[in-house]
Structure 1
Amino acid sequence: MTKLIKIITLFLCNSLFATHAQELTHYLLPAPREINIDKGYLNEIQGAVIPNHNFIELIENISPFDIVGDVKTHSSPLTINTFSLEIDSALRNKQAYCLTIDSTSVKIVGRDNAALFYGKQTLQQILQYSKDTGKPIPCLSITDWPDFERRGYMLDISRDKVPTMETLYQLIDMLALWKINEFQLYTEHTFAYKNHRTVWKDASPITAEEVRMIDAYCKAKFIDLVPNQNSFGHMENWLMHDQYLHLAECPTDCNTIWGTRSRHSLNPLLPESFDLMQELYAELLPNFSSQYFNIGCDETVELGNGLSKQECQKHGKGKVYLDFVKKLNSEVNKYGRKAQFWGDIILKHPELISSIPENMTAMVWGYDSKYPFEENLPKFEEAGLDYYVCPGTSTWRSIIGRNKDAFTNLGRAAQYGKKFGAKGYLNTNWGDWGHWQPLSVCYPTLATGAAYSWNAQMDPMELIPTALNKFIFKDSTGNLTKALLKLGDAYLACEIPEGNANAFHLMLRRYRWTMKGHYQTKMLKKKNLLKAEQEIDTAILLLDQSAPMSRDAQITVDEIKQAAMLAKHGIHLGLARLNAKQLATENISPDTLQILANELDTLIKKHDELWTIRNREGGLQRSGQKLNDLLEFYKAID
């Protein structure tokens, strides 16, 4: 009997230990490469754990720079604890660290200072686990390193939303927690160039002084703030002003793959186009410490359809494109920087990839869940070029997210990026058509991208709830993250083909156009829209039952609820159109139009109210106008 009791006791202890270990690993995002959890605990003396809160406080507050090569000790009545950080350049993998915890000591060994910082971030997660659960810190060893040398996040600040400095600092803290080491602010017209006030005067731009402040804040957290200025396509915020119109490839309408377009791309044959970029680079680049610079050059859809048509027909559109990009690269090199450029256009001319200068980095972007990274990456690998994989959060044109598509896209980018040796992984967060998605809607896919960029083989989906609940929202109920994830999957109930938008945003954007003429909207059905609304309503209930304690708890809840209600308005408009003659908005009944108008009017007021809590005022009018246009359409019909 005694022997049986001992066996049962041993089994229970092992089971409890296994549960303990599993709970701890859920706190670690990105997931470490190797972790061994040993028996025993920090401060355990003869089977009893002696609390030493002063030692834990020391670890939390001390900076890695203060203690490299030194050992810090702290005494309690029964133990002496030591905490050390050491550099070991012999560690084989870049940015590798080893974290060891035993009964009396905590030690981090890193290949460099950045590695020590990453080890300390992992340690902070372990300490948070102990605080939350009240359980002692187990003895363990972690050996860890990233799959991608460069792990980035890009935020669009040109599609209406320019965040406040406080918002940017909060975001940078989040990126640092998850070991992101590159940050880009996608810019078209939202840097305060001194000679171009006309372009940015209504946009609340980032100033040179602010860039230097952001750069320093990033640097302290081992994040490289990479300047980003589109330099060829997507120049509409410049070319819309008549004083720049002479630089346009298409000053008036021309036919493109996007339909009729004008004032979108620079004319690369015009010397003044290059002169403008020279001037902008000279003012922008000195404010950044990074050796890299993203010059953009994506989606030059007007090229060859306007003033450069004859030259493109003579020499080839790809050559005209690459010649201008090479000129931009040479200008970048004058400042000791290396140019990054979006890879979409050159992929249409793969025979020219080998002609790209070796010091350039291709940013290979694609956001569909089936984007062929496996086909496109080898083209740059074979040319001997550095390149990044650039998936996305898929939150733009969604209001509340498209999580399934995003998670697949993020995972495939990591899988094939690692397989073919990509230098970096850049998770992009765009703001197309009003930037109606709040920043908090993007957190699940931001965390997922960060996890994959560190450990490409580890599916992080089980880790996301803890990462958000414990470290971002500080929500003991867990309901806020549940609500976010449910909202991000609500689009699936609509059962329409995948695309760069979900049904809710499509309804609010395409209200003038026929539903039967679009590959997604023509598949909409009432029953599926109603199912989606039920999913959103369930998420709102979860949101109401959450209890976040983060510094920005109230705005987070308010902005997520606003997004949910705006998505519901898209559903209500869709249902009304499906009941209307020819499925047309103008044929919706007067009573229903009045209900829709009242609902949207309330949402617009809330949109305006919430905007300036996280963002600058510039861009609000442009974002809100898209909703106001729909409201005026309702009223005009009525």
Structure 2
Amino acid sequence: YARRRHVELMPNLQSFGHCAHILGMPEYEHLAESAALWSLCPTDEATYAFLDDLYADFLPAFSSSTLNVGCDETWDLGKGRSAEAVAEEGVGRVYLEHIRRLHQLAKGHFRHIQLWGDILLRHPDLVRELPEDVTLLDWHYHASDDYPSVRVFAESGRPFWVCPGTSSWNTLFPRIENANPNIRTLARLGVEHGAQGLLNTDWGDGGHYQPMGQCWYGYIYGAEQAWSGGTTDDLEFDERFGLLFFGRDGNRVVGAMRALARLNALPGMPLRNASRSIYALLDEPLVGETIE
């Protein structure tokens, strides 16, 4: 379906952190780094036998030559079974060795890997030791007029993408006022510093309870700014988006969307990568314990 529409569907399979679901199964619990059941243990050879088997089952479903192995937010690394190795070698080098092992596993399945770059930003001196065909994903979801990490990855000589977000998760209405400058700035910096692409993210924290219809604005805005290099004016985009999606009344609909989005900026509403507005949907109405 995707290929017929000139879309390459790239698989993502968590291969380090964010493994709580599978590590929560009794038959895989022994692969965990710690009792938190969050990250795979990088010093256990069984981890790599498991991942190799998982790749063999998973990857044939995709024609893409790319595999996103995740590897972000490995906050328990070195706090469990790998503690001795981390004490001897340093957490950055243990992390790097795991990436090298993943690179070899993926190569055995005729794939090259992408990984999120947040952990490597804490150890920028190690980036140049990565295999040259590893693609780094520089993710930021807060609005800013600059993201210095783009220059760090550009100077590493490794291929990298910039990765903003739609800001449509953990909120009742998309946080457009945050998403637009986030997307626009990363698109501009990506072009300026030689990024190979832009990956616009829409996360499903808690199960992607945000309606897909609310995400389309961010999807199309991301595509527009990636195409223009972050030069498209918001007013110009809103006019075209409204006309194409909603017809003659498009300006009114987009205006309403923008007004709802601004509710997330009211006093007491903003949270990091979220808005308190979501609690209006998720809160227990008879108790109200999560809303002050």
Q: Same fold (TM over 0.5)?
A: yes
CA distance in 1 between partners of 2:4 and 2:25 (Å): 39
Cα deviation for residue 463 of structure 1 reads 3.4
Cα deviation for residue 498 of structure 1 reads 5.8
Match of 2:249 in 1: 477
2:146 pairs with 1:362: no
Match of 1:268 in 2: 42
Cα deviation for residue 286 of structure 1 reads 1.7
User: CA contact under 8 A between 1:294 and 1:341: conserved in structure 2?
Assistant: yes
Partner residue of 1:395 out of 158, 162, 168: 168
User: CA contact under 8 A between 2:41 and 2:81: conserved in structure 1?
Assistant: yes
Match of 2:66 in 1: 292
Cα deviation for residue 394 of structure 1 reads 0.9
Match of 1:307 in 2: 81
Partner residue of 1:241 out of 25, 31, 34: 25
Helix, strand or coil: the match of 1:388? strand
Match of 1:414 in 2: 187
**How many residues are treated as equivalent by the alignment?**
288
Match of 1:229 in 2: 13
More strand per residue: 1 or 2? 1
Helix, strand or coil: the match of 1:429? coil
Instruction: Give 1:405's aligned amino acid.
Output: N
User: CA contact under 8 A between 2:269 and 2:277: conserved in structure 1?
Assistant: no
2:91 pairs with 1:322: no
User: CA contact under 8 A between 1:451 and 1:460: conserved in structure 2?
Assistant: no
CA distance in 1 between partners of 2:215 and 2:80 (Å): 38
Helix, strand or coil: the match of 1:242? coil
Partner residue of 1:448 out of 205, 217, 221: 221
CA distance in 2 between partners of 1:494 and 1:309 (Å): 43
CA distance in 2 between partners of 1:372 and 1:267 (Å): 35
Match of 1:385 in 2: 158
Alignment of 1:230-629 (within 5 A): 230-251=14-35, 262-370=36-144, 372-373=146-147, 375-472=148-245, 474-478=246-250, 479-494=252-267, 499-505=272-278, 508=279, 570=280, 627=282
Instruction: Give 1:242's aligned amino acid.
Output: P
Instruction: Give 1:235's aligned amino acid.
Output: C
Instruction: Give 2:98's aligned amino acid.
Output: F
Instruction: Give 1:409's aligned amino acid.
Output: N
Cα deviation for residue 307 of structure 1 reads 1.2
Instruction: Give 2:235's aligned amino acid.
Output: E
CA distance in 1 between partners of 2:83 and 2:145 (Å): 30
Q: Structure 2 stretches of 5 or more lacking a match?
A: none
CA distance in 2 between partners of 1:272 and 1:398 (Å): 39
User: CA contact under 8 A between 2:167 and 2:176: conserved in structure 1?
Assistant: yes
Helix, strand or coil: the match of 1:459? coil
User: CA contact under 8 A between 1:452 and 1:460: conserved in structure 2?
Assistant: no
Cα deviation for residue 634 of structure 1 reads 5.1
Q: 1:357 to 1:632 in 2, by over 3 A?
A: farther
CA distance in 1 between partners of 2:135 and 2:255 (Å): 38
RMSD: 2.0
CA distance in 2 between partners of 1:340 and 1:289 (Å): 16
Normalising by structure 2, we get a TM-score of: 0.92
Instruction: Give 1:230's aligned amino acid.
Output: Q
CA distance in 1 between partners of 2:286 and 2:31 (Å): 35
Helix, strand or coil: the match of 1:296? coil
User: CA contact under 8 A between 1:397 and 1:502: conserved in structure 2?
Assistant: yes
Cα deviation for residue 466 of structure 1 reads 3.9
Helix, strand or coil: the match of 2:199? strand
2:277 pairs with 1:630: no
1:494-523 Cα offsets, whole Å, 9 max, x none, are: 366662111313xx2xxxxxxxxxxxxxxx
Helix, strand or coil: the match of 2:242? helix
Helix, strand or coil: the match of 2:113? strand
Normalising by structure 1, we get a TM-score of: 0.43
CA distance in 2 between partners of 1:377 and 1:422 (Å): 8
Match of 1:72 in 2: none
1:455-481 Cα offsets, whole Å, 9 max, x none, are: 114224123334433333x44322332
Q: 1:275 to 1:467 in 2, by over 3 A?
A: farther
Deviates more, 1:400-409 or 1:450-459: 450-459
Helix, strand or coil: the match of 1:226? coil
User: CA contact under 8 A between 2:268 and 2:276: conserved in structure 1?
Assistant: no
CA distance in 2 between partners of 1:447 and 1:369 (Å): 18
Cα deviation for residue 399 of structure 1 reads 1.7
Q: Structure 1 stretches of 5 or more lacking a match?
A: 1-216, 252-261, 509-569, 571-602, 604-626
Q: Highest Rg: 1 or 2?
A: 1
Helix, strand or coil: the match of 2:2? helix
Instruction: Give 1:240's aligned amino acid.
Output: G
Instruction: Give 1:243's aligned amino acid.
Output: E
User: CA contact under 8 A between 1:370 and 1:409: conserved in structure 2?
Assistant: yes
CA distance in 1 between partners of 2:109 and 2:47 (Å): 19
Instruction: Give 1:494's aligned amino acid.
Output: P
Instruction: Give 2:139's aligned amino acid.
Output: W
User: CA contact under 8 A between 2:15 and 2:69: conserved in structure 1?
Assistant: yes
User: CA contact under 8 A between 2:184 and 2:231: conserved in structure 1?
Assistant: no
The list of structure 1 runs, each at least 4 consecutive aligned residues, that deviate by more than 4 angstroms after superposition, is 495-498, 631-635
